[in-house]
Chains A and B, each alone.
Chain A
Protein backbone atom coordinates (compact mmCIF):
# COMPACT_ATOMS: atom_id res chain seq x y z
CA UNK A 1 0.00 0.00 0.00
CA UNK A 2 1.30 3.41 -0.93
CA UNK A 3 1.71 5.25 2.43
CA UNK A 4 0.29 8.44 0.90
CA UNK A 5 -3.01 6.61 0.37
CA UNK A 6 -3.28 5.26 3.89
CA UNK A 7 -6.24 6.37 5.97
CA UNK A 8 -5.62 8.86 8.77
CA UNK A 9 -5.32 7.33 12.20
CA UNK A 10 -8.31 7.80 14.54
CA UNK A 11 -7.72 10.13 17.48
CA UNK A 12 -9.41 7.75 19.96
CA UNK A 13 -7.24 5.44 22.01
CA UNK A 14 -7.83 2.02 23.53
CA UNK A 15 -6.51 0.68 26.81
CA UNK A 16 -4.89 -2.78 26.88
CA UNK A 17 -3.85 -4.62 30.05
CA UNK A 18 -1.75 -7.72 29.57
CA UNK A 19 0.35 -9.43 32.22
CA UNK A 20 -0.43 -6.59 34.67
CA UNK A 21 1.07 -4.02 32.31
CA UNK A 22 -1.19 -1.38 30.85
CA UNK A 23 -0.72 0.61 27.67
CA UNK A 24 -2.91 2.97 25.71
CA UNK A 25 -2.72 2.71 21.93
CA UNK A 26 -4.48 4.23 18.92
CA UNK A 27 -7.93 2.63 18.71
CA UNK A 28 -7.21 0.95 15.36
CA UNK A 29 -4.13 -0.93 16.60
CA UNK A 30 -5.11 -4.54 17.25
CA UNK A 31 -3.16 -7.22 19.06
CA UNK A 32 -2.22 -9.80 16.42
CA UNK A 33 0.45 -11.74 18.27
CA UNK A 34 0.90 -12.49 21.96
CA UNK A 35 2.49 -14.87 24.41
CA UNK A 36 1.01 -15.96 27.73
CA UNK A 37 4.15 -16.52 29.82
CA UNK A 38 4.54 -13.95 32.57
CA UNK A 39 8.34 -14.35 32.94
CA UNK A 40 9.20 -13.50 29.38
CA UNK A 41 6.99 -12.68 26.43
CA UNK A 42 5.85 -10.43 23.67
CA UNK A 43 2.77 -8.80 22.17
CA UNK A 44 2.63 -7.22 18.74
CA UNK A 45 0.09 -4.66 17.59
CA UNK A 46 -0.80 -3.74 14.03
CA UNK A 47 -2.96 -1.20 12.30
CA UNK A 48 -4.65 -2.17 9.04
CA UNK A 49 -1.44 -1.79 7.04
CA UNK A 50 1.09 -3.57 9.20
CA UNK A 51 2.82 -3.99 12.54
CA UNK A 52 3.31 -0.79 14.53
CA UNK A 53 4.44 -1.82 17.99
CA UNK A 54 6.21 -4.74 19.60
CA UNK A 55 5.94 -4.92 23.35
CA UNK A 56 8.21 -7.34 25.19
CA UNK A 57 8.80 -8.09 28.87
CA UNK A 58 11.40 -10.05 30.75
CA UNK A 59 11.65 -10.68 34.48
CA UNK A 60 15.00 -9.67 35.96
CA UNK A 61 16.29 -9.82 39.54
CA UNK A 62 16.88 -6.05 39.81
CA UNK A 63 17.07 -2.77 37.89
CA UNK A 64 19.47 -2.98 34.94
CA UNK A 65 22.05 -0.39 33.89
CA UNK A 66 20.02 1.03 31.03
CA UNK A 67 22.71 3.48 29.96
CA UNK A 68 25.14 0.63 29.36
CA UNK A 69 22.47 -1.62 27.87
CA UNK A 70 21.45 0.96 25.29
CA UNK A 71 25.06 1.82 24.39
CA UNK A 72 25.84 -1.88 23.93
CA UNK A 73 22.73 -2.27 21.89
CA UNK A 74 23.54 0.71 19.64
CA UNK A 75 27.05 -0.72 19.13
CA UNK A 76 25.56 -4.10 18.17
CA UNK A 77 23.26 -2.47 15.65
CA UNK A 78 26.15 -0.48 14.17
CA UNK A 79 28.14 -3.69 13.85
CA UNK A 80 25.20 -5.11 11.86
CA UNK A 81 25.88 -2.38 9.27
CA UNK A 82 23.31 0.11 10.52
CA UNK A 83 25.51 3.20 10.64
CA UNK A 84 22.77 5.71 11.40
CA UNK A 85 21.85 4.30 14.84
CA UNK A 86 21.30 7.14 17.32
CA UNK A 87 20.55 7.28 21.01
CA UNK A 88 17.10 8.60 21.83
CA UNK A 89 14.83 9.09 24.81
CA UNK A 90 11.15 9.82 25.28
CA UNK A 91 8.95 10.12 28.38
CA UNK A 92 11.89 9.00 30.62
CA UNK A 93 12.43 5.87 28.51
CA UNK A 94 15.99 5.58 27.19
CA UNK A 95 16.30 4.18 23.70
CA UNK A 96 17.93 4.00 20.30
CA UNK A 97 16.62 4.64 16.83
CA UNK A 98 17.72 3.84 13.33
CA UNK A 99 16.75 1.95 10.22
CA UNK A 100 16.37 -1.81 10.70
CA UNK A 101 15.56 -4.02 7.69
CA UNK A 102 14.56 -0.93 5.74
CA UNK A 103 12.09 0.31 8.36
CA UNK A 104 12.69 3.25 10.65
CA UNK A 105 12.55 1.79 14.14
CA UNK A 106 12.75 3.23 17.63
CA UNK A 107 13.38 1.01 20.64
CA UNK A 108 12.89 2.06 24.24
CA UNK A 109 13.35 0.23 27.51
CA UNK A 110 12.15 0.71 31.08
CA UNK A 111 12.36 -1.20 34.33
CA UNK A 112 9.17 -1.74 36.34
CA UNK A 113 9.88 -2.22 39.97
CA UNK A 114 6.73 -3.91 41.33
CA UNK A 115 6.67 -6.42 38.49
CA UNK A 116 10.51 -6.79 38.47
CA UNK A 117 10.60 -6.72 34.73
CA UNK A 118 12.22 -4.90 31.86
CA UNK A 119 9.78 -3.76 29.24
CA UNK A 120 10.90 -2.95 25.74
CA UNK A 121 8.67 -1.02 23.32
CA UNK A 122 9.68 -1.11 19.65
CA UNK A 123 7.90 1.24 17.26
CA UNK A 124 7.96 0.45 13.55
CA UNK A 125 7.56 3.62 11.49
CA UNK A 126 6.35 2.54 8.09
CA UNK A 127 5.39 6.18 7.51
CA UNK A 128 7.13 9.19 9.01
CA UNK A 129 8.16 8.83 12.66
CA UNK A 130 5.75 10.53 15.09
CA UNK A 131 7.57 11.59 18.25
CA UNK A 132 4.32 12.81 19.92
CA UNK A 133 2.68 9.40 19.47
CA UNK A 134 5.84 7.68 20.69
CA UNK A 135 5.82 9.81 23.85
CA UNK A 136 2.08 9.33 24.47
CA UNK A 137 2.33 5.54 24.19
CA UNK A 138 5.41 5.32 26.41
CA UNK A 139 3.81 7.59 29.02
CA UNK A 140 0.77 5.31 29.14
CA UNK A 141 2.77 2.15 29.89
CA UNK A 142 2.48 1.35 33.59
CA UNK A 143 1.98 -1.46 36.06
CA UNK A 144 -1.67 -2.23 36.75
CA UNK A 145 -2.32 -2.58 40.49
CA UNK A 146 -4.00 -5.79 41.65
CA UNK A 147 -7.75 -5.70 42.16
CA UNK A 148 -9.94 -7.13 44.93
CA UNK A 149 -8.43 -10.25 46.64
CA UNK A 150 -5.19 -9.64 44.75
CA UNK A 151 -6.93 -10.50 41.46
CA UNK A 152 -5.07 -9.59 38.27
CA UNK A 153 -6.85 -7.40 35.76
CA UNK A 154 -6.73 -8.16 32.03
CA UNK A 155 -8.17 -5.98 29.31
CA UNK A 156 -7.91 -7.38 25.80
CA UNK A 157 -10.03 -8.50 22.85
CA UNK A 158 -12.95 -6.36 24.01
CA UNK A 159 -13.10 -7.77 27.54
CA UNK A 160 -12.10 -6.18 30.83
CA UNK A 161 -11.90 -8.75 33.62
CA UNK A 162 -10.36 -9.86 36.87
CA UNK A 163 -8.74 -13.29 36.74
CA UNK A 164 -9.08 -15.41 39.91
CA UNK A 165 -6.28 -14.71 42.41
CA UNK A 166 -3.11 -16.58 41.46
CA UNK A 167 -4.51 -17.62 38.09
CA UNK A 168 -2.47 -17.19 34.93
CA UNK A 169 -3.58 -17.15 31.33
CA UNK A 170 -3.60 -20.86 30.41
CA UNK A 171 -5.37 -21.13 27.06
CA UNK A 172 -6.42 -18.77 24.31
CA UNK A 173 -8.44 -19.11 21.15
CA UNK A 174 -8.71 -16.05 18.94
CA UNK A 175 -10.72 -16.34 15.73
CA UNK A 176 -12.69 -13.84 13.64
CA UNK A 177 -15.65 -13.00 15.87
CA UNK A 178 -14.50 -15.14 18.79
CA UNK A 179 -12.11 -14.51 21.66
CA UNK A 180 -11.78 -17.18 24.31
CA UNK A 181 -9.42 -16.79 27.28
CA UNK A 182 -8.97 -19.37 30.03
CA UNK A 183 -7.29 -18.51 33.33
CA UNK A 184 -6.36 -21.14 35.89
CA UNK A 185 -4.29 -21.35 39.04
CA UNK A 186 -1.45 -23.91 39.20
CA UNK A 187 -3.22 -25.97 41.91
CA UNK A 188 -6.30 -26.38 39.74
CA UNK A 189 -8.61 -24.81 42.35
CA UNK A 190 -9.91 -21.96 40.21
CA UNK A 191 -10.65 -21.64 36.55
CA UNK A 192 -12.17 -18.76 34.64
CA UNK A 193 -13.22 -18.86 31.03
CA UNK A 194 -14.02 -15.48 29.46
CA UNK A 195 -15.51 -15.31 26.01
CA UNK A 196 -16.61 -12.61 23.62
CA UNK A 197 -18.54 -14.07 20.71
CA UNK A 198 -19.62 -12.22 17.60
CA UNK A 199 -21.69 -13.12 14.53
CA UNK A 200 -24.45 -13.81 17.06
CA UNK A 201 -27.34 -14.12 14.63
CA UNK A 202 -25.50 -17.03 12.98
CA UNK A 203 -25.43 -19.26 16.08
CA UNK A 204 -27.95 -17.99 18.61
CA UNK A 205 -31.42 -18.88 17.46
CA UNK A 206 -33.34 -18.55 20.74
CA UNK A 207 -33.06 -17.01 24.14
CA UNK A 208 -29.59 -16.34 25.59
CA UNK A 209 -30.66 -17.57 29.03
CA UNK A 210 -31.77 -20.91 27.57
CA UNK A 211 -28.50 -21.17 25.63
CA UNK A 212 -26.47 -20.58 28.81
CA UNK A 213 -28.53 -23.12 30.75
CA UNK A 214 -28.01 -25.73 28.08
CA UNK A 215 -24.28 -24.99 27.75
CA UNK A 216 -23.44 -24.88 31.44
CA UNK A 217 -26.02 -26.65 33.56
CA UNK A 218 -24.55 -29.59 35.48
CA UNK A 219 -24.26 -31.00 38.98
CA UNK A 220 -26.76 -29.82 41.56
CA UNK A 221 -28.00 -26.86 43.62
CA UNK A 222 -28.71 -24.68 40.66
CA UNK A 223 -29.91 -21.16 40.98
CA UNK A 224 -30.73 -18.72 38.24
CA UNK A 225 -31.15 -14.98 38.19
CA UNK A 226 -31.60 -12.28 35.58
CA UNK A 227 -30.90 -8.60 36.04
CA UNK A 228 -30.22 -5.53 33.97
CA UNK A 229 -27.18 -3.34 34.33
CA UNK A 230 -26.39 -0.33 32.13
CA UNK A 231 -28.67 -1.65 29.42
CA UNK A 232 -27.22 -5.19 29.59
CA UNK A 233 -29.56 -8.04 30.51
CA UNK A 234 -27.38 -10.48 32.40
CA UNK A 235 -28.32 -14.16 32.71
CA UNK A 236 -26.75 -15.81 35.72
CA UNK A 237 -26.68 -19.50 36.59
CA UNK A 238 -24.81 -21.20 39.39
CA UNK A 239 -24.48 -24.64 40.91
CA UNK A 240 -22.22 -27.18 42.56
CA UNK A 241 -20.27 -30.17 41.24
CA UNK A 242 -20.35 -32.84 40.02
CA UNK A 243 -17.07 -33.81 41.68
CA UNK A 244 -15.35 -37.17 42.10
CA UNK A 245 -15.64 -38.21 45.76
CA UNK A 246 -11.90 -38.10 46.50
CA UNK A 247 -11.57 -34.56 45.16
CA UNK A 248 -14.59 -33.35 47.05
CA UNK A 249 -13.12 -34.77 50.25
CA UNK A 250 -9.71 -33.25 49.68
CA UNK A 251 -10.66 -29.85 48.40
CA UNK A 252 -14.37 -29.32 48.83
CA UNK A 253 -16.93 -29.10 46.05
CA UNK A 254 -16.67 -27.14 42.80
CA UNK A 255 -18.82 -24.04 42.91
CA UNK A 256 -19.54 -22.89 39.43
CA UNK A 257 -21.14 -19.72 38.13
CA UNK A 258 -21.84 -18.45 34.64
CA UNK A 259 -22.94 -15.05 33.42
CA UNK A 260 -23.88 -14.19 29.86
CA UNK A 261 -25.16 -11.04 28.28
CA UNK A 262 -25.48 -9.50 24.87
CA UNK A 263 -23.91 -6.07 24.71
CA UNK A 264 -26.26 -3.47 23.22
CA UNK A 265 -23.18 -1.52 22.09
CA UNK A 266 -21.36 -4.06 19.90
CA UNK A 267 -24.04 -6.77 19.64
CA UNK A 268 -21.67 -9.49 20.85
CA UNK A 269 -22.32 -12.08 23.52
CA UNK A 270 -20.05 -12.07 26.57
CA UNK A 271 -19.79 -15.18 28.70
CA UNK A 272 -17.99 -15.57 31.99
CA UNK A 273 -17.70 -19.09 33.44
CA UNK A 274 -15.96 -19.60 36.74
CA UNK A 275 -15.22 -22.80 38.67
CA UNK A 276 -13.91 -22.53 42.22
CA UNK A 277 -13.02 -25.43 44.48
CA UNK A 278 -13.77 -24.38 48.04
CA UNK A 279 -15.10 -25.95 51.20
CA UNK A 280 -17.47 -23.04 51.66
CA UNK A 281 -19.69 -21.30 49.19
CA UNK A 282 -17.68 -18.38 47.70
CA UNK A 283 -18.92 -14.94 48.68
CA UNK A 284 -21.34 -13.99 46.00
CA UNK A 285 -20.89 -10.58 44.49
CA UNK A 286 -24.20 -8.73 44.39
CA UNK A 287 -23.81 -7.99 40.73
CA UNK A 288 -21.02 -9.73 38.82
CA UNK A 289 -21.42 -7.51 35.78
CA UNK A 290 -19.23 -4.54 36.35
CA UNK A 291 -17.38 -6.15 39.24
CA UNK A 292 -15.54 -9.08 37.66
CA UNK A 293 -15.96 -8.59 33.93
CA UNK A 294 -17.40 -5.95 31.62
CA UNK A 295 -17.43 -5.27 27.92
CA UNK A 296 -14.41 -3.04 27.32
CA UNK A 297 -16.45 -0.82 25.02
CA UNK A 298 -19.01 -0.11 27.78
CA UNK A 299 -16.93 0.51 30.83
CA UNK A 300 -13.88 -0.24 32.86
CA UNK A 301 -13.31 -2.25 36.00
CA UNK A 302 -12.27 -0.22 39.00
CA UNK A 303 -8.71 -1.22 39.86
Chain B
Protein backbone atom coordinates (compact mmCIF):
# COMPACT_ATOMS: atom_id res chain seq x y z
CA UNK B 1 0.00 0.00 0.00
CA UNK B 2 2.83 2.44 0.83
CA UNK B 3 4.27 2.13 -2.67
CA UNK B 4 0.89 2.79 -4.36
CA UNK B 5 0.24 6.12 -6.02
CA UNK B 6 -3.07 7.97 -5.59
CA UNK B 7 -4.18 9.51 -8.90
CA UNK B 8 -6.68 12.38 -8.78
CA UNK B 9 -9.78 12.11 -10.96
CA UNK B 10 -9.18 14.64 -13.76
CA UNK B 11 -12.92 15.20 -14.13
CA UNK B 12 -13.21 16.40 -10.52
CA UNK B 13 -13.83 20.12 -10.08
CA UNK B 14 -12.29 21.73 -6.99
CA UNK B 15 -13.45 24.93 -5.32
CA UNK B 16 -12.33 26.68 -2.14
CA UNK B 17 -15.31 27.82 -0.06
CA UNK B 18 -14.56 29.72 3.13
CA UNK B 19 -11.33 27.90 3.90
CA UNK B 20 -12.80 24.51 3.02
CA UNK B 21 -12.16 22.53 -0.11
CA UNK B 22 -15.22 21.37 -1.99
CA UNK B 23 -14.86 18.76 -4.71
CA UNK B 24 -17.51 18.12 -7.34
CA UNK B 25 -17.50 14.81 -9.19
CA UNK B 26 -19.77 13.81 -12.08
CA UNK B 27 -22.35 11.20 -11.14
CA UNK B 28 -22.31 7.88 -12.97
CA UNK B 29 -25.03 7.73 -15.73
CA UNK B 30 -27.07 5.23 -13.70
CA UNK B 31 -29.87 2.87 -14.78
CA UNK B 32 -32.21 3.68 -17.59
CA UNK B 33 -35.21 4.30 -15.35
CA UNK B 34 -33.25 6.87 -13.36
CA UNK B 35 -32.12 8.60 -16.56
CA UNK B 36 -35.73 8.93 -17.68
CA UNK B 37 -36.75 10.23 -14.25
CA UNK B 38 -33.94 12.81 -14.39
CA UNK B 39 -35.28 14.07 -17.70
CA UNK B 40 -38.60 14.68 -16.01
CA UNK B 41 -37.15 15.98 -12.72
CA UNK B 42 -33.73 17.52 -13.42
CA UNK B 43 -31.17 17.19 -10.57
CA UNK B 44 -27.52 18.13 -10.32
CA UNK B 45 -25.38 15.68 -12.23
CA UNK B 46 -22.51 16.27 -9.82
CA UNK B 47 -21.86 14.99 -6.36
CA UNK B 48 -20.46 17.47 -3.83
CA UNK B 49 -17.90 16.46 -1.23
CA UNK B 50 -16.51 18.83 1.40
CA UNK B 51 -13.12 18.24 2.98
CA UNK B 52 -12.03 19.57 6.37
CA UNK B 53 -8.71 21.46 6.38
CA UNK B 54 -6.65 18.32 7.10
CA UNK B 55 -8.49 16.35 4.41
CA UNK B 56 -7.92 19.22 2.00
CA UNK B 57 -4.22 19.16 2.76
CA UNK B 58 -4.12 15.42 2.13
CA UNK B 59 -5.95 15.91 -1.17
CA UNK B 60 -3.46 18.61 -2.25
CA UNK B 61 -0.60 16.20 -1.60
CA UNK B 62 -2.11 13.69 -4.03
CA UNK B 63 -0.51 15.03 -7.20
CA UNK B 64 -0.42 11.72 -9.07
CA UNK B 65 3.36 11.53 -8.60
CA UNK B 66 3.77 10.98 -4.88
CA UNK B 67 3.40 7.52 -3.40
CA UNK B 68 1.29 6.92 -0.31
CA UNK B 69 4.51 6.70 1.71
CA UNK B 70 5.66 10.10 0.47
CA UNK B 71 2.25 11.63 1.21
CA UNK B 72 2.31 10.16 4.72
CA UNK B 73 5.80 11.59 5.28
CA UNK B 74 4.84 15.07 4.02
CA UNK B 75 1.63 15.08 6.04
CA UNK B 76 3.55 14.00 9.18
CA UNK B 77 6.10 16.76 8.66
CA UNK B 78 3.50 19.47 8.11
CA UNK B 79 1.35 18.57 11.09
CA UNK B 80 3.98 17.40 13.57
CA UNK B 81 2.76 13.79 13.61
CA UNK B 82 4.67 10.52 13.86
CA UNK B 83 4.76 8.27 10.80
CA UNK B 84 2.01 5.95 12.05
CA UNK B 85 -0.21 8.79 13.30
CA UNK B 86 0.08 10.35 9.87
CA UNK B 87 -0.50 6.98 8.16
CA UNK B 88 -3.78 6.43 10.06
CA UNK B 89 -5.01 9.96 9.21
CA UNK B 90 -3.90 9.85 5.55
CA UNK B 91 -5.26 6.38 4.82
CA UNK B 92 -8.59 7.43 6.38
CA UNK B 93 -8.83 10.41 4.02
CA UNK B 94 -7.64 8.39 1.01
CA UNK B 95 -10.30 5.76 1.68
CA UNK B 96 -13.03 8.43 1.64
CA UNK B 97 -11.66 10.01 -1.53
CA UNK B 98 -11.42 6.65 -3.31
CA UNK B 99 -14.96 5.65 -2.27
CA UNK B 100 -16.23 8.89 -3.81
CA UNK B 101 -14.25 8.32 -7.02
CA UNK B 102 -12.20 11.47 -6.45
CA UNK B 103 -9.02 9.42 -6.37
CA UNK B 104 -7.92 6.18 -7.99
CA UNK B 105 -5.00 4.09 -6.80
CA UNK B 106 -2.20 2.97 -9.10
CA UNK B 107 -0.61 -0.06 -7.48
CA UNK B 108 3.17 -0.37 -7.59
CA UNK B 109 4.60 -2.85 -10.04
CA UNK B 110 7.18 -5.42 -8.92
CA UNK B 111 10.57 -3.82 -8.23
CA UNK B 112 9.08 -0.38 -7.73
Question: Which residues of A approach B to under 8 Å, CB–CB?
Answer: 1-2, 5, 28, 30, 32, 46, 48-49, 175-177, 198-199, 202, 266-268
Contacts and interface: CB of A to CB of B under 8 A. Distances in A.
Contacts of B2: 1, 48-49
B112 A32 contact: no
Contacts of B3: 1-2, 5
A202 B55 CA distance: 13
Interface of B: 2-3, 53-54, 69, 72, 79-89, 110-112
B81 A176 contact: yes
Contacts of A198: 79-81, 85
A155 B68 CA distance: 30
The 6 closest A-B pairs by CB, nearest first: A176-B85, A176-B89, A30-B84, A176-B88, A48-B83, A267-B80
Contacts of B87: 48
B80 A30 contact: no
Contacts of A268: 80
A46 B112 contact: no
Contact of B86 (A5, A175, A176): A176
A211 to B, nearest CB: 18
A33 to B, nearest CB: 11
A46 B84 contact: yes
Contacts of B79: 177, 198-199
A268 B85 CA distance: 14
Interface of A is mostly: loop
Given A2-B111, A48-B2, A175-B88, 8 more contacts: A1-B69, A30-B82, A30-B83, A32-B84, A48-B72, A177-B89, A199-B54, A267-B80
Most chain A beta-carbon contacts within 10 A, residue among B53, B83, B85: B85
A48 B54 CA distance: 21
A46 B84 CA distance: 9
B80 A266 contact: yes
A169 B84 CA distance: 23
A88 to B, nearest CB: 29
Contacts of A176: 81, 85-86, 88-89
B72 to A, nearest CB: 8
Nearest to A178: B85
18 contacts: A1-B3, A2-B111, A2-B112, A5-B3, A5-B112, A28-B83, A30-B82, A46-B84, A48-B69, A48-B72, A48-B84, A176-B86, A177-B81, A177-B85, A198-B80, A198-B81, A198-B85, A199-B54
Contacts of A177: 79-81, 85, 89
Nearest to B72: A48
Contacts of A48: 2, 69, 72, 83-84, 87
Nearest to A47: B83
A50 B4 CA distance: 16
A34 to B, nearest CB: 13
Contacts of B53: 202
Contacts of A30: 82-84
Contacts of B89: 176-177
Most chain B beta-carbon contacts within 10 A, residue among A30, A48, A202, A268: A48
Nearest to B52: A202
A175 B88 CA distance: 8
A193 to B, nearest CB: 20
A2 to B, nearest CB: 6
Contacts of A175: 88
